[in-house]
Amino acid sequence: MIVLNTLRSPAEPRQPRLKLLPPHIFCMHKPALIVLAIATALNGLTAFAEEPKPAGANAKTEKDMKPYKVTIPGTDVSYEMVPIPGGNYTMGSPNAEEGRLDDESPQRKIKIEPFWMGKHEVTWDEYDIWSFSLDQKIRKLRNLEATEADKRADAVTRPTPPYTDMTFGFGHDGYPAICMTQLAAKTYCKWLSKKTGHYYRLPTEAEWEYACRAGTTTAFSFGDDPAKIGEYAWYADNSDDQYQKVGKKKPNPWGLYDMHGNVAEWVLDQYLETYPNKAAANGLLVNPIAVATELYPRVVRGGSWEDEPPECRSAARRGSDEEWKFQDPQIPQSVWYHTDALMVGFRIVRPLRVPSEKERKELKLDAKKVINKR
């Protein structure tokens, strides 16, 4: 079986890589896959009473924001959030930056509000709790009553079963989740919001680059020298041709891991070949977003395990492609999976200022409701 891996701006197509995968991976029975996922997730899980929210998670002002760690209710799986201060920066790359593409233009001045961002990319450990309804199965096995938060989370749609093992044998525990559509990533955020009582979503493209740069103006958050990338990123030359466990390389100056390489990360925006630059009178664009109106292309950021250093720069952009569903045998093809995007994952953000319902609807910040037909 061949998987076609592509990850490139539509404005700058490149020769895709062909990756041979073991035939047995595509022959696994769906229920067997679910059992494997449940067994993995249940291994070592214990029933916990609801934990109080960590102090760092309860900040009302930017100066009170602190890093925090949350255990997903009803499990022992946790994730960490890092505070990102509000501020201004220049988005995009200068003409002289090595490896830049035209879609990183024009440079523009951006103002960003404070938010928290996931310290790591979302892992399979976290993602499978939602995607395989493991939280519900755990409660049933242990005869636990659903909390009010559980009931709200249970009302969020879960994906249809995958037709194959979506790790493709690359690894599960501690590895980033991959192959999801933007809709799936947004729906996970919606579920996590209901589960925890905090509002989570995908970052905007402007937020993502701001957090990746972490106050720097160089090609990478560690400087301009691509020879140093191996200290900070899993990329084509050191990844052993697959994604790696999160958090094993050096973080950027704001404590975020794997912002360069490992897996490219979904953001909210529609991919446009150049940036719109409708600045306010003071020259600043405030929290800009290219609201997505078309299914393709949408933006992923950061480069991946199969990319060269220029594609992992802070300003580098990629657009999604219909070819990412090339080998999905389902008819119609699933809204939840990009079977050929073995290099795409995501991380979450939590804005300090929770947007209004009107903002969320107008900017399409949240996942639309999906009714599974199978």
Residue 218 falls within a domain, yes or no?
yes
Considering the domain boundaries, does residue 342 fall inside one? yes
Give how many domains the chain has, as a whole number: 1
> In this predicted structure, which of 55-59, 137-141, 270-274, 343-347 has the lowest mean pLDDT?
55-59
Distance from the Cα of residue 336 to its chain's centroid:
14
In a domain, residue 19? The reply is: yes
- Residue 50's pLDDT is 54
pLDDT confidence tier of residue 17, bands split at 50, 70 and 90? very low
Q: Is residue 216 part of a domain?
A: yes
CB 111 within 8 A of CB 287: yes
Please give the Cα distance from 342 to 18 (Å, whole number): 12
Nearest to 13 by CA among 260, 321, 302, 304: 321
Residue 20 has pLDDT above 80, yes or no: no
Q: How confident is the model at residue 280 (pLDDT cuts 50, 70, 90)?
A: low
Q: At 374, is the pLDDT very low, low, confident or very high (cuts 50, 70, 90)?
A: low
Q: How far are the Cα atoms of 32, 73, 84, 155, 202 from residue 151, in angstroms, in the given order?
A: 27, 12, 31, 7, 23
Average pLDDT over residues 54-68: 92
Whether the predicted model's global pTM rises above the 0.85 cut: yes
Task: Using a pLDDT cut of 70, give the percent of the chain over it.
Answer: 84
CATH number for the domain spanning 61: value is: 3.90.1580.10
Q: Which of 11-15, 196-200, 357-361 has the lowest mean pLDDT?
A: 11-15
Q: Given pLDDT bands bounded at 50, 70 and 90, which one contains residue 345?
A: very high
Answer yes or no: is pLDDT of 287 > 90. Answer: yes
pLDDT, average across residues 63-67: 97
CA 245 remoteness from chain centre? 15
- 173 and 42 Cβ atoms separated by less than 8 Å: no
Domain presence at residue 368: no
Q: Calculate mean pLDDT across residues 123-131.
A: 98
Asked if residue 122 lies in contact with residue 348, where contact means CB atoms within 8 angstroms, the answer is yes
Residue 352 within any structural domain of the chain: yes
Percent of the chain with pLDDT over 90: 78
Q: Range of 114's domain?
A: 2-362
With 0-12 / 13-18 / 19 or more C-beta atoms within 10 angstroms meaning exposed / middle / buried, residue 109 is: middle
pLDDT score for 282: 77
Residue 21 belongs to some domain of the structure:
yes
Of 31-40, 83-92, 266-275, the one with minimum mean pLDDT is 31-40
